Structures are given as structure tokens and as C-alpha cells.
Homo-oligomer: A and B are copies of this chain.
Amino acid sequence: MKKLINAPEAVLADALAGVAAAHSDLRVDFANRIIYRATPKADGKVALISGGGSGHEPLHGGFVGTGMLDAACAGEVFTSPTPDQMQEATKVVDRGAGVLHIVKNYTGDVMNFEMAGELAAAESGVEVATIVTNDDVAVQDSTWTAGRRGVGVTVLLEKIVGAAAEEGRDLKAVLALAEKVNGSGRSMGMALTSCTVPAAGKPTFDLPDDMMEIGVGIHGEPGRHRVPLAGAHEIAAQLVEPILADLDFTSGPSIVMLNGMGGSPLIELYLMYGEVAKLLEKAGVKVARTLVGNYITSLDMAGCSVTVLKADDEILKLWDAPVVTGGLRWGA
């Protein structure tokens, strides 16, 4: 295993130290493994927290900042944070208007956030609402999930709903928007290679040199099928077709993300986006906004995913609103 680390058991603590050193507008609670804003948002505004296993950076810690999340809870690599962490984050960010928990649909995350929400409500009187993202069209159930997995839409949702919370919408409105965004987006991913979890020290799965995994999950969990390695055009078709078959995206504008899994260089991600854009145009999907890069990753896995989100004027306006985080930054 060749990694830029000190020791497998120190990866998370050491990476959090780097985040704290790099970003003066963030604070890190090392005991609770929470990244939060140095300057909290104004009283009376809804706060947003998310979290999950580490190894998907910049998700979620890289999305803490003005216009997006108020805090993120970091679990060990590919391991859910604990209810204690989430409860503490909920208390820290609450400005009296309630807290939205943004949870990717994985069994551990869902269970722990549910417990944290109940504890925060019972012990601190914080009003908590929860959105569980489940946008991955690849598989209905998985080794990690009952129902569809939460993947790329989570990134777009944190941006869009974060802007709405910054505007001062109340918790009910923020939750309704989150449900609308989650319901309007679909994703599908693929892997050329496995990732390697530091604590395991070897690739999570074997993938022969002439094969790729279509529909792979962000922990390297199995997808729809393993197929012979193909060119970018064919890969794009195998990602875009299941997305368009699942939801009609032709009725209005869309936001499209071509996401890298962590080990694929940017030149390949742009190349893939070119292929995806051709397919979307042919299918009558009008792309209004684009994001190309590494946003929800799987350690050093080579591969990519496509996310398409149906937008409207409200969503585009919230998308364009200022955001200042480590992973997304514009307009301020």
C-alpha cells in the first residue's frame, strides 16, 4: 500500500489537523471529529449538518462554510460517525431555528443520525429534520443499504439547500426543498480500479485489467455488472442511459456533475464530461450548470460518476448564490 500517511490508524486525526491548519475560517473539534464554521451563521437561521465515513473528500468537511453546511461529522474511513458526534454537532450549530440532518442512505449513517436527532431533541430541545439522499440508480438494495444509495445528489443538495438556509427559510421550507432536490436527481458511477482502505492495506475488490465495474458504490461495493473495459463514449452511455431511463429530464434545465472517484486525473474527467454532454444533448436534456471534478470520492479509486438534477428557476438561483467552502467557492 503506497499512501501519503503516517499510520493507518492515524489517517483521520492527521487529515483533520491538515484541514484545521489550511482553513482559518473553519474550526475542528478533534475530540468529536467535527468540522464547523469559525463564524456561526446568524441567530434564527436553520443550520445544516452532514457527515459519514471519511474517504469521500471533499464531501462533507470540504463543504462546510457560508452558503453550504454548518458542520460535518467525520467517521473513520468508510465507517459511520457515532450518534454522539452528530448530537454534539447538532448542538453546536443550532441557532434556535432547528437543524437539518443531511444523510446519505447507508444503514449505519441512517441509524446513527436517527438516534442523534432523537437525543438532540430530547436533551437539548433542538428541532431536527432529516433528509436521506438515495439518488443512485445502479442498485435497489446493496451490501450497505436498504433501498438506493445516496451519492452525487448529496453534493448538489448541500449547495442548494445551504443557500436556502442562508436566506433565512424556516426548517419546514428547508426540508421541503431538500426533498424536492433529492427527488429530482439521479446518479450512476463506475470504477476502473478498486480503492484501498488504509486499515485494510490492500484493494477492496479485485478487478482484472480488462474489466470495469458499472454501477459501483462509493465504498467499492458491487454495482450492476462487471463488463469488459470500454472506451469513454461507451462508458458514458452505460452511465447516462440508466439515469435517463429512471426520470424524465427533458422538461426543463438540469444541473450536471461529472464526478471523479479520486484516482482519475482531471483530463480524463473533462474527456468524460464531453461524452456525457453529447449524450444528454442527443436525449434532449438541456444542461444549465456544470460541475466537473472530484466532489464525492472513494479514496484512490479510478473511475467517475454522473449526476443529473432537474432544476427550475428557484434551484438555479440557489445554485448560483455565493458559497465559500474548501470544496466549492464562488460569488463571494
A-to-B contact residues, CB < 8 Å: 2-7, 11, 14-15, 17-23, 54-55, 57-58, 62, 77, 192-193, 209, 212, 229, 231-233, 235, 258, 262-275, 277-278, 287, 290, 292, 294, 297, 299-300, 302-304, 324, 326, 329-332
Does B2 contact A265, Cβ atoms closer than 8 Å? Answer: no
Most buried by B among A265, A274, A299, A331: A265
Please give, as numbers and ranges, the residues of chain B lying within 8 Å of A278 by CB-CB distance: 21
Q: Would A54 and B277 be within 8 Å (CB), given that A6-B232, A232-B4 are in contact?
A: no
- Are A273 and B4 closer than 8 Å at their CB atoms? no
Q: How far is the CB of A159 from chain B (nearest CB, A)?
A: 14
Query: Which residue in B55, B290, B304, B329 is a CB contact (below 8 Å) of A267?
Result: B55
Q: Are A265 and B299 in contact (CB under 8 A)?
A: yes
DSSP majority for the A interface? mixed
Q: In the assembly, what is the distance between CA of A277 and CA of B268, in Å?
A: 31
Could you say which residues of chain B place their CB within 8 Å of the CB of A324? 330
Chain B nearest CB, measured from A1 CB (Å): 9
Chain B residues with CB under 8 A of A54: 267
Give Cα A112 to B271, complex, Å.
27
Shortest CB–CB separation between residue A86 and chain B, in angstroms? 20
Q: What residue in chain B is nearest A260 (Cβ atoms)?
A: B4
Are the C-beta atoms of B330 and A21 separated by less than 8 Å?
Answer: no
Q: Tell me the nearest residue of chain B to A6, going by C-beta.
A: B231
Which 4 pairs show the lowest CB-CB distances between chains A and B?
Answer: A18-B274, A18-B270, A21-B277, A17-B274
Copy number in the complex reads 2
Task: Identify 5 residue pairs between A and B in the complex whose beta-carbon atoms are under 8 Å apart, listed by A's number.
Answer: A2-B209, A4-B232, A5-B271, A22-B277, A265-B294
Cα of A9 to Cα of B330 in the assembled complex, Å: 35
Question: Contacts of A6 on B, CB cut-off 8 Å?
Answer: 231-233, 271, 275
Chain B nearest Cβ from A160, distance in angstroms: 18
Q: Which residue of B is nearest A304, CB measured?
A: B4
A48 CB → nearest B CB, Å: 21
Q: Which of B7, B57, B258, B267 contacts A265 (CB 8 A)?
A: B57
Q: Report Cα–Cα, A273/B258, bound state, in Å.
A: 27
**Are A55 and B297 in contact, CB atoms less than 8 angstroms apart?**
no
Say how far A207's CB is from chain B's closest CB, in angstroms.
Answer: 9
Do residues A271 and B4 form an inter-chain contact, with CB atoms below 8 A? yes
Residues in chain B near residue A326, CB distance under 8 A: 292
CA distance A266 to B193 in the complex (A): 17
Closest beta carbon of chain B to A44's beta carbon, Å: 28
- Could you tell me if B232 and A300 are in contact, using CB atoms closer than 8 angstroms? no
Q: With A2-B193, A14-B275, A263-B263 given, can you name 18 additional A-B contacts, CB distance below 8 Å?
A: A2-B209, A2-B229, A3-B268, A4-B264, A5-B271, A7-B231, A14-B271, A15-B271, A22-B270, A23-B290, A262-B265, A262-B266, A263-B302, A264-B300, A265-B294, A266-B297, A267-B299, A329-B330
